[in-house]
A and B are shown apart, each in its own frame.
Chain A
C-alpha cells in the first residue's frame, strides 16, 4: 500500500515532531510511506480568507506532488477537508479528483482503511480531547451534538486502545476553540476568548494534556496556555498513538 505523507506547511515548519510521529506510526502499521519532497501547503489560508482564486499555484504543486499514491494521509483534519472540497487543477483534472477522494486524515485512515484493532502504545496521563470542527463536522470523524444520530468517534476509538490513558471530555464537547485560520488574527479578541473558554473546561477536568487531530487548534490553545503559565500541555493524537512511555 503506497501512502503519500502530507505534512501541512505549518506542521513542517513548527511541529516537526507531529510529522515524525505520523510517519513512524504509519510505518509501524505496515504502510509503505513516501514523503514527496516538494510539497508546501494545501492553499486553505488563502481560500478561507476569500482568496481561493490565488490558489492555482498551490493546487498545481499539490497535484504534482501527490499524484499516483493509493492513499494520501495527513495529521490535520482541516487541511484534508480543504483538499477534499477545493483542490482543482485544470491541466490535470483527473489527478486532482483522484487526490480529493484518496486523501485521509490520519485517524480516519487508521480506523477506516487500515482498520486498526489495537495499537502498542502507552501514555499514562489524563488527556482532554478537543474535537476540531473541520475534522468533526467536515470529515465526520465523530458524531456531533447538534444532530440526532448514533454517537461515535474515530479518534477516541483509537485513543481508547492506548495503555494507561485516561480520557476526559470537556463540558461542551464539540465547541470551536476559536482558531479559525486568519480569524485568529483578524478577530483576535473573540478568537482568544473562545480559546480561553475551551481551556477553562480542560482546567476543570485537571488534565495533563489536551489532544486532538488538528495541530492548528492545538497551536492556538498552546499559545494561550503558555501565556497564562497554565501547566496543561498540548500534544497531537499521532504523538500519543506513537508513544511508548
Chain B
C-alpha cells in the first residue's frame, strides 16, 4: 500500500489543481477565522467545550447508561456495537427483519469508518448517500476526501461528468445550479421511496435521551421524516451530559467547520413519531482502547468539525485521499494509528508539527503534540523503517560526542566543497528541488576559537 508521502506526491503532480484545492480550503479557514474573531468569548467557549468533553470522557459509563435509559423510556431502541462488524450486523438484521430494499443515509463518518456501504452492497442492498457531496463521491466509487466537504477534491467539471454518466445530465453543462437541481430531483425520488433512513449523530444528550443531527442540506430530516424506520449511528464519544451544553457546542461547530454562525438544520430527535421505529447504535470500535491511552484519550473530544483539515498546510496540498483512511487530516492522523498502527504508521509523520491544528480545534485537542507522541509510540513498537532507525542511531551517537560531531561536520563541509556530486544527486531528496546550503570553510566554533578566545 502506498504511504501518505507517495500519495501526496501524486496529488501535487497537478500543480494548478493543488493550488485550487489549497485556496478553496484556505478560504474556508478564513471564513472560520472571521466567525471566531466575531465572538469576543471565542476562547472561553473553547475552554468550556474542552472542559465538558473532558468531564464526559471521565464519566462515560454514567452518561452512556443514563442516555440508554432515557432513550429507551422515550421509545427508542438502543443497540451496543463492540466494533464496525457488529455495527454493520445490527443494521443488517433490522433490514432483514423488515424486508427493506431501499435505504437513504445522511452524512455519518462513523458508517464510513465501519465501511457500512460496502458491507450492505456486498449483501445486495442498495444504500443511497443523500448528502450532495457524498452522493457525488458515491457515484464515482470514491471515499469522501474531507469529513465535512466530502467532494472537495472535485471541481464542478468533474461533478458535471459524473452526473452526465449517472444522472444523464447535459454533457459539458458545468452550471452548479443546474447540477444541484439534477441531484435534487434524483434524491427526491430516493427520499420518497425509502423504507429506512440512516443518519449520524452529532450530539447525544444523556439527560434527555435525545440526539442532535446537524446538516446544511436538510437531508437527514428528509430521510428520517419520510422513512418508517430511522437508525442513528454514533460513536460513544458523541455523548454530552445536558441539553444546555448544546449552547456551547452548536455555537462552536458550524463556526469552526465553515464559518457559519450555526448549521442550517440542527435537528433534535427525541422519540419515534407514531408508527415509526427509531434505533440508536452506539459504537465502540477502538474507542475504549484510545480512552485507555493516556496521551491520546482526549482525541475523543473531537466533534468532527474539520477545522484542523482546513488549516493544515499539508492536508490542503495533499488531499484527503492521501491519508488512505475514512477520517483524514490531522485528527485522522491521531485517531487512525489506534485502529491499525501498522497500516497507519505513516500518518503521524504527515505533518510539520506547525501547531495550527491545535489552535483552531474548538475542543482544544492538543493535536500536534499527539502527533509527536504517536511518532514515539510507532518507533517504539517497531513500525518505523529500518533504514531510518539506523540513520537516527548513528546521528544520535555522533551528536552525543562533541569531538566526533566536530570531525564529521568538518569532513562533511570539506566533501561538499570538494566532491559536491556526493550531495548534489538524485538520491538526495533535499536536492531534488532545492539547492544545498553553501559549506563554509570555518564553522562558528572554529571562527570563535580564532577570533574570540
Contact = CB atoms under 8 A, between A and B. Distances in A.
Contacts of B350: 187, 190
A182 B130 CA distance: 42
Contacts of A38: 402
A208 interface: no
Contact of B437 (A46, A55, A180, A219): A219
Contact of B399 (A41, A137, A189, A191): A41
Contacts of B397: 57
A176 B352 contact: yes
Interface string A137-181: 110000011111100000000000000000000001011101111
Contacts of A195: 434
Contact of A148 (B37, B430, B439, B440): B37
A146 B360 contact: yes
Interface stretch (A13-21, A90-98, A104-112, A114-122): A13-21
A187 B40 contact: no
Contact of A46 (B351, B355, B396): B396
A60 B444 contact: no
A22 to B, nearest CB: 9
Contact of A12 (B9, B378, B444): B444
- Identify whether the interface residues of A are mostly helix, strand, loop, or mixed: helix
B24 to A, nearest CB: 14
Given A148-B43, A178-B313, A223-B436, A187 B5 contact: yes
Interface residue tally of chain B, by bracket?
Answer: 35 or more
Contact of A20 (B22, B42, B358, B447): B447
Contact of A194 (B313, B399, B413): B313
Contacts of A47: 372
Interface string A57-78: 1101100000000000000000
A52 B377 CA distance: 10
B445 interface: yes
A41 B4 contact: no
B429 interface: yes
Given A45-B395, A138-B355, A192 B388 contact: no
A29 interface: no
Interface residues of A, number: 74
A41 B430 contact: no
Contacts of A46: 392, 395-396, 399
B226 to A, nearest CB: 41
A147 B395 contact: no
Nearest to A42: B399
Given A180-B353, A183-B349, A57 B443 contact: no
B412 interface: yes
B386 to A, nearest CB: 13
A172 B412 CA distance: 36
A227 B424 CA distance: 12
B376 A9 contact: no
A236 to B, nearest CB: 12
B400 A51 contact: no
A57 B399 contact: yes
A7 B401 CA distance: 16
A227 B435 contact: yes
A197 interface: yes
A51 B380 CA distance: 8
B36 interface: yes
A192 B437 CA distance: 15
B360 A11 contact: no
B285 to A, nearest CB: 26
B438 interface: yes
A54 interface: yes
Contacts of A54: 392-393, 396
B430 to A, nearest CB: 6
B317 A194 contact: yes
A206 interface: no
A110 B374 CA distance: 35
B349 A189 contact: no
A226 interface: yes
A226 B358 CA distance: 33
Given A46-B396, A48-B353, A146 B405 contact: no
B41 to A, nearest CB: 9
Given A146-B33, A187-B5, A197-B22, A192 B401 contact: no
A146 B359 contact: yes
Given A133-B355, A137-B356, A187-B8, A50 B400 contact: no
B288 to A, nearest CB: 25
A17 to B, nearest CB: 8
Contacts of A14: 413, 437-440
B359 A9 contact: no
Interface centre among B12, B15, B39, B448, by most chain A C-beta atoms within 10 angstroms, is: B448
Given A41-B399, A58-B399, A20 B434 contact: no
Nearest to A16: B444
Given A57-B397, A57-B400, A187-B314, A15 B437 contact: yes
Given A180-B351, A187-B314, A40 B405 contact: yes
A219 B375 CA distance: 25
Contacts of B160: none
Interface of A: 7, 9, 11-16, 18-20, 23, 35, 37-41, 43, 45-58, 60-61, 133-134, 137-138, 144-149, 172, 174-176, 178-181, 183-195, 197, 219-220, 222-224, 226-227
5 contacts: A49-B379, A53-B380, A148-B37, A180-B353, A183-B352
Give the 5 A-B CB pairs with smallest separation, nearest first: A57-B400, A180-B352, A223-B434, A50-B375, A19-B444
Given A16-B443, A50-B384, A223-B437, 4 more contacts: A41-B399, A61-B402, A187-B349, A188-B433
